[in-house]
Chain A
Amino acid sequence: MKGGPGARVLALHLGLIAALFAAQFVLGAYHHTNLARIMVLATYAVGYNLLLGYTGLMSLGHAMFFAAGMYGAGLSIYYLGFGAIPGFALGVACALGLALAFGAFALRTSGVSFLIVTMMFGQAFYLTILYFNQVTFGDQGFILSDRLPAALVDPDVKYNAALLVFAACFLASAFLVRSPFGRILVAIRENEARARLLGYDTYTCKLVVLTLSGGMSGAAGAAYALLFSYVGASFAAILNSIYPLLWTLLGGAGTTLGPVLGTGLMFYLVDFTSGWTSAYLFVVGGALLVLVLFFPLGVMGTVRAKLAPWIP
């Protein structure tokens, strides 16, 4: 990544991280908290986008990876007395393991079958959490605040921890999609049969990217449990699988910045509309329809097509 577009791309990504770091000194308490939450959720969207945007695989069950991270961290801290960092690590490991195991058979299908299978297993995972409600406390969930170090209550620590997790996943995804491996993912998205006849083991490539995507989603889930101190089954429900899809499509699938932007926009849109209507799901449903019909490239996809073809 030297000179030319490489330098610009690097500047763009580091610039975003720097801007997010600087923002904590400017923002009021309300937006400060919101932005911490947006960064955690954006990590989830970044992971989702690796799969949807760059590999062309749409998943409707990513909430299971988010929830695997969340429960892996939450349960180990709650029952086993893990510290924050081991808990986080275990959460990510759970998500990686689940994604690998799930991918191993789900990727035997393709196209809409894959979609259906992801949705089905996402729901089965949700039902499993409900079924073992004596351990997981089901829909009610449980709170971690009295089992975590006091430092994690400090909003500044929360903000910077969220930024750290986000920056790691965001930069990793930006690096990955520009690497030779990332180019193969795009080749799979464009024409998988051809990629296979160029000698690429597309099944393994898809399995690797699904595992990474699940791992990032799990990192987001684990971070959410730690930073907002709540673990609940609603994070495994279908709606939480639809959100990253919506964020990614809104911001622009297959762009590194899109999911981040989409998460922020949608967060404030829902925040704003829930002021005057409780049915924010109208907004979610309407947004999906409008995006598909009138705005299929999303914000950054449109920017790339019209203004700046160099952005990754």
Chain B
Amino acid sequence: MSAALLETEALTRRFGGLTAVDDVSIGVRAGQIHAIIGPNGAGKTTLVGMVCGRVRPSAGRIRFEGRDITRTPAWRRALAGIVYTFQVTSIFRALSVRENVALAARRRLMHSPARWLHLDPMALEDRVDAALGTLDLREQEHRPAGELPYGHQRLLEVAMALALEPRVLVLDEPAQGLAEHEIDTFCERVREISSRATVILIEHNIDVVLRLSSHITVMDRGRIIADGDPASVEADPGVQRAYLGRR
């Protein structure tokens, strides 16, 4: 087994008396689509929240490319390429769709102080167009982001993430709010993205998970109950009981 790109080691997070994530160690290998599934309250969002720095771990370590990033601030992790798309959409509602993506795209261009004051407009436009194009948002680019239908706000989240050129892209329930016919296209997009970035996918829609993922971690009440390739996880009796059976 090749070394993992991103690893957690005995990661734990307690909120008051509740242990939301309990001693979780996973390894995400480069180029994979790694799905994390589990019932509501299993601790999936808290786990990826710790990975991208939104939530401070109570115990344990996180390593990215072999370096310990447990204490690295969230913005630095985003810059290093660990990019998160929110479960509850968090976009700049008052700004245009295009400006939302531009904010993400600029980050990759602003290397030096001079670039904070002036950027080459062409380089920026190209990146923004590419990200908007991938998610089919070009037609709506001038609308305020808050006016988009919910499902399209989710797509905008992904477009912003892409414009950041992620190395590891965390998609937290991205298909939620999409219509049945949009899901197929969306799966195609995720597969395309995975040729450029490693994807961590949190998703409730089991069909989407089974179609896309090359590795599945199943969580329940903060703990890992199964971890492996889709076929073995699907066959796992514990998983059947705890999760898949309830479908």
A residues lining the B interface (CB < 8 Å): 175-176, 179-181, 183-184, 186-187, 190-191, 193-202
Determine which of B74, B79, B115, B160 lies in contact with A180 in the assembled complex, contact meaning CB atoms within 8 Å: B115
In the complex, are the beta carbons of A180 and B95 less than 8 A apart? Answer: no
Q: How many A-B residue pairs have CB under 8 A?
A: 70
User: Told that A180-B110, A197-B84 touch, could you supply 12 new A-B pairs with CB distance under 8 A?
Assistant: A175-B117, A179-B116, A180-B118, A186-B95, A191-B90, A194-B86, A195-B103, A196-B78, A197-B52, A198-B75, A198-B103, A201-B76
The 3 closest A-B CB pairs, nearest first, are A199-B78, A199-B79, A190-B92
List, sorted by A's number, 22 A–B pairs whose CB atoms are closer than 8 Å: A179-B116, A179-B117, A180-B106, A180-B110, A180-B118, A180-B119, A183-B102, A183-B103, A183-B106, A184-B103, A187-B95, A190-B93, A190-B94, A190-B95, A191-B91, A193-B54, A197-B74, A197-B84, A198-B160, A198-B164, A199-B75, A200-B107
B208 CB within 8 Å of chain A: no
Interface size on B, residues (CB 8 A): 32
Chain A residues with CB under 8 A of B110: 180
Chain A residues with CB under 8 A of B164: 198-199
B5 CB within 8 Å of chain A: no
Determine which of B92, B99, B107, B118 lies in contact with A191 in the assembled complex, contact meaning CB atoms within 8 Å: B92
* A296 CB, min distance to chain B CBs, angstroms: 14
CA distance A201 to B73 in the complex (A): 9
CA distance A202 to B79 in the complex (A): 13
In the complex, are the beta carbons of B102 and A198 less than 8 A apart? Answer: no
Chain B residues with CB under 8 A of A186: 95
Chain B residues with CB under 8 A of A181: 116-117
CA distance A181 to B113 in the complex (A): 10
Q: A180-B115, A181-B117 are in contact. Are A187 and B75 (CB under 8 A)?
A: no
CA distance A247 to B52 in the complex (A): 41
Chain A residues with CB under 8 A of B79: 199
Chain A residue with Cβ nearest B95: A190
In the complex, are the beta carbons of A193 and B95 less than 8 A apart? Answer: no
Q: Residues 81-98 of chain B: 1 if any A CB is under 8 Å from the residue's CB, otherwise 0?
A: 001101000111111000
B193 CB within 8 Å of chain A: no
Q: Give the interface centre of B73, B76, B92, B115 by most chain A CB atoms within 10 Å.
A: B92
CA distance A14 to B61 in the complex (A): 55
Chain A residue with Cβ nearest B108: A199
CA distance A198 to B84 in the complex (A): 9
Q: A194-B92, A195-B103 are in contact. Are A201 and B75 (CB under 8 A)?
A: yes
* B50 CB, min distance to chain A CBs, angstroms: 13
* A229 CB, min distance to chain B CBs, angstroms: 36
Chain A residue with Cβ nearest B93: A190
CA distance A180 to B104 in the complex (A): 11
Chain A residues with CB under 8 A of B78: 196-199
Q: Give the interface centre of A176, A180, A199 by most chain B CB atoms within 10 Å.
A: A199
In the complex, are the beta carbons of B117 and A198 less than 8 A apart? Answer: no
Chain B residues with CB under 8 A of A200: 75, 107
CA distance A187 to B104 in the complex (A): 10
In the complex, are the beta carbons of A198 and B95 less than 8 A apart? Answer: no
Chain B residues with CB under 8 A of A183: 99, 102-103, 106
Q: Give the interface centre of A181, A195, A198 by most chain B CB atoms within 10 Å.
A: A198
